[in-house]
Chains A and B, each alone.
Chain A
Amino acid sequence: SQQGEEDPQALSIQEGENATMNCSYKTSINNLQWYRQNSGRGLVHLILIRSNEREKHSGRLRVTLDTSKKSSSLLITASRAADTASYFCATAGYTDKLIFGTGTRLQVFP
């Protein structure tokens, strides 16, 4: 059962621009996590935001969570070519599984 859905499916920007990706989900969550996947590789955890938090920062990453709208956004500021990857949100409910969305493909052009 799909929980998180990312929007847009694909995003192309120039280096130095900001990239914003959104995630919507359907049911109550304990936390929401964002992961990055470089082409053909495994996923790497970026940031976790708990249901009682509204915003979290990590370096050039900023994540917001709006539980009333059941949505989250990931902002990458001052993007670099190395940020080119797919980005996934994953929701953690009150069971023992993470549920991943289908991802946003980000292309950053030099």
Chain B
Amino acid sequence: DVKVTQSSRYLVKRTGEKVFLECVQDMDHENMFWYRQDPGLGLRLIYFSYDVKMKEKGDIPEGYSVSREKKERFSLILESASTNQTSMYLCASSRTWDSHTDTQYFGPGTRLTVL
């Protein structure tokens, strides 16, 4: 079974702090994704990566950056956290670059609260 893990289930940070969310997958997947989930808005794609050191902006990249130095690890960075970034963050991976034919495998999520 594919396993996607996220570094924290719950995280509380203060406004202005730099925040790192880590995601690791163990199935040698090429694609990795970061979403945020808010009530009434569903899942929105922040960034995705289809290869090491490659990244593409999703629908809401503002205020975020990402890093993919190794194939199995995809990090989401909030350079200066703000209260409107309080949300559930979900990481996912999928097998190949041709991802519209592939299912995505999700981690358990990180609920981030910014005070």
Contacts and interface: CB of A to CB of B under 8 A. Distances in A.
Interface string A78-108: 0000000000101011111110111100000
A52 to B, nearest CB: 12
A94 B100 contact: yes
A43 interface: yes
A45 interface: yes
A18 interface: no
A69 interface: no
Interface of B: 4, 35, 40-43, 45, 48, 50, 56, 58-59, 88, 90, 92, 97, 99-101, 103-109, 111
A2 interface: yes
A17 to B, nearest CB: 26
A22 B35 CA distance: 23
B90 A96 contact: no
A92 B101 contact: yes
25 contacts: A1-B59, A33-B103, A40-B109, A40-B111, A41-B109, A42-B4, A42-B106, A43-B92, A43-B106, A44-B106, A45-B104, A45-B105, A92-B99, A93-B100, A96-B97, A96-B99, A97-B45, A97-B48, A97-B99, A97-B100, A98-B99, A98-B104, A100-B42, A102-B40, A102-B42
B106 A100 contact: no
A30 B101 contact: yes
